[in-house]
Chains A and B, each alone.
Chain A
Amino acid sequence: MSTPIVQISSLRKHFSGVEVLRGIDLDVTPGETVAVLGASGSGKSTLLRCINCLEMPDGGSVVLDGEMMGHRHHGGHLRRLTENHIAVQRRQVGMVFQSFNLFPHWTALQNIMDGPRSVLRLSRDAAREKALTLLERVGLRERAEAYPRQLSGGQQQRVAIARALALEPKVLLFDEPTSALDPENVGEVTDVMKSLAAEGATMLVVTHELGFARAAADRVIFMDDGVILEQGTPSEVLDRAREPRTQEFLRKTLE
C-alpha cells in the first residue's frame, strides 16, 4: 500500500456546543475512491469541509501530501495560517457542491478558465485550450459559451466538475453531487465521476447513490453521529454490514 495522500487524524469539530465530528481517522491512498455514506446530520459534509478548511476543525489534523492544512508549526507553537495562505493550500483540493455553485456571471468556459489563468498563469489561449479539453471530457464542449442558467442541472454539475479539475488537484471532494438533480440527469454526472475514478483520480464522495458506491468506490465508509462506524469494500459494507445502524440506514435508503 502506497503512502496516503490524505491523512486525517482524530479530527474533531463542534458547532455551538454540539459535537459534529468526534474523532475521525481516515487515510486515503492516491487513486482511491472513497464513498462516504451516513444519515442526515451525521457529519459527512462537515468532514469534507474540514479537509479544505471551509470549516476550521477544533482538533486533530488534516495532512495533504505531507503538508498540514490550515496550520503550521512555528517555534513550538501551532499557528493558524492566513486566509491567503489557506487559499494557496486549497488549490490542491477540488470540490464539487450539491448546488453546483457555478459563477452565474461567467460562461461555462470562463468558469473553468479562471483558475488556470490566475493560478497556473497560463496564457489566454492555453487556458482556453485547457478548459475546452476539460469540457470535452465532461461531454459539453459545444456548450462552452453558455451561461450557467442556460444549462440543465446535470450539465451545470458537469461544468462544475470540469472547473474543479482545472487546477489538477491532488484530491477531489464531492458533496452529494447528484442530490439536487432530477432522476434522469443523475446518470450523466455519475458517469463522469465513474470515468474519473477509473482514470485514477483520488476522490472522496458523499453520496446517497448506492449504485455509484458499489460500481466506482474502492472503499465505503459509513458515518454515524460524528464517527466512522464501519468501513470496507463496497460489498463488505453494502451487502454484509455488521453494525445494526448501518443495516438500518441501508434498508431505509433502498426503500
Chain B
Amino acid sequence: MTADRRADHEVASAGPPTGVDFGTARSPRRPLTWVTAAFVLILAAQLVHMLFTNPNFEWNTVARYMLSASILKGVGTTLLLTLVAMLIGIVLGGVLVVFRMSENLVLRFLASGYIWVFRGTPQLVQLIFWFNVGLLMPVIGLGIPFGPVFVSAEANSLITPMLAAIVGLGLHEAAYQAEIYRGGLLSVDEGQLEAAKALGMKPTRMFFKIQLPQAMRFIVPPTFSAIIGMTKGTSLVMVIGGAELLFSVQEIYSQTFQTVPLLIVASLWYLVITTLLNGVQFFIERHYGRGASRGGSASMIGRYLDRRSGLRLLAETRRSEA
C-alpha cells in the first residue's frame, strides 16, 4: 500500500514544478463581482442616507419603545405562542406521519384526512374558527362517546384568545410538519433499510437508529423554516385579540399615530428572534451532518464557520505533513 502511494507521488511530482504551495494562491479574478459591489454600494449609501435624514422614521421613538414594558410583554407572548404551537406541531406531526406511513389502513386514512383538511384551509380561517367554536358547540365536555360526560365547561369561557391561538396554530402546523417528516423519511436510501434488515435489526430500532438520523438532514432545514414562519405567523393571532407583538405595537400606534416607528420596532424584534433561530439551526445541522460529504450551509455564519474549520483542517494537515 505505502509502496503504491509513493509510486503515485513520484508520477505526480514529475509533472508541475515541485514545492508549489497552493495555500498561498490568490482567488481567481472576478471583475463582475467588483462591478456589482460598486453598484450595490451606491444603492446602500442612498438607503443609509435616507434612514438618517428622513425624519419620518422617528428613530428616537423606535429607541424609546424598543424595550418598553408593553412591547416586551408582546415579544414574550409571541415567543410563548411560537414555542407551544410549534411543540404541538412537532409532536402531533410525528404521530400523524407514523399513522400516515403505517400498515393500518384506518390510521392511514385518518392521517391523510387530517392533512387534507388542515393543510387545505387558510390558517386565518382556522384561527377564527377555533376562537368561535362556541357557536358550534356551546358546551365542551370530556366523557365516553354517546355515554356519560365527566367534566364540561362553557365554550365561551373556556376558549380564550390564547387557547384558540395555540390550538389553531398548532393543529395547522402539525399537518405541515407531518409532510416534512414524510419527505425526510422517504429520502433515506432504500439500501440503508435493507442493510439494517439484513443485519437483523428490529423495525423500531431500525427507525430510530438508521432511518430517522439520516432523515434529520432533510427534516431540520424545513422545520426551521417552519419555526421562523410560525414566529411571524403568530401575528395573525392579532385578529382574535391575542396580545402578541404586533397586537401590542398596534395598540400603541392606534393612540399615538406613530405607525412607522412602531412597525420598525416590531420588525426589529422579529428579526432578532429569527436571527437567533438561524444560529441554532446551524449547530443542529452540523450535528446531523456527521459523516456527510461537505454540504453547503444555508446560513451566513454557517459558511463563515465552515470556512474557518476548513482552513484549520488545512493548517493541521500541513503541520502533520511537515
Contact = CB atoms under 8 A, between A and B. Distances in A.
B291 A90 contact: no
Interface in B155-213: 189, 191-192, 194-203, 205, 209-210, 213
A106 B213 CA distance: 10
Interface stretch (A16-24, A97-105, A199-207, A245-253): A97-105
B292 interface: yes
Nearest to A85: B202
Interface of B is mostly: helix
A88 interface: yes
Given A147-B290, A149-B293, A84 B195 contact: no
B231 interface: no
B194 A97 contact: yes
Contacts of A119: 200
Q: Which of B195, B290, B293 has the most CB of A within 10 A?
A: B195
B214 interface: yes
A106 B198 CA distance: 17
B202 A101 contact: no
Contacts of B214: 103-105
Contacts of A93: 198
A90 B198 contact: yes
Nearest to B205: A118
A167 B194 contact: no
Interface string A70-112: 0000000000000110011111011101010111111100000
Contact of A105 (B191, B196, B290): B290
Contacts of A101: 189, 191-192, 194-195
A148 B199 CA distance: 17
A43 B245 CA distance: 65
9 contacts: A87-B202, A90-B197, A91-B200, A94-B198, A97-B195, A103-B195, A149-B292, A160-B195, A167-B200
Interface of A: 52, 54, 83-84, 87-91, 93-95, 97, 99, 101-107, 114-115, 118-119, 147-149, 160, 163-164, 167
A121 B244 CA distance: 53
A84 B290 contact: no
Contacts of B210: 103
Nearest to B195: A101
Nearest to B204: A84
Contacts of B202: 83-84, 87
Given A90-B199, A94-B198, 11 more contacts: A52-B197, A83-B202, A87-B201, A93-B198, A97-B194, A97-B195, A97-B198, A105-B213, A115-B200, A149-B291, A167-B199
Q: Which of A54, A87, A164 has the most CB of B within 10 A?
A: A87
A87 B197 contact: yes
A90 B288 CA distance: 29
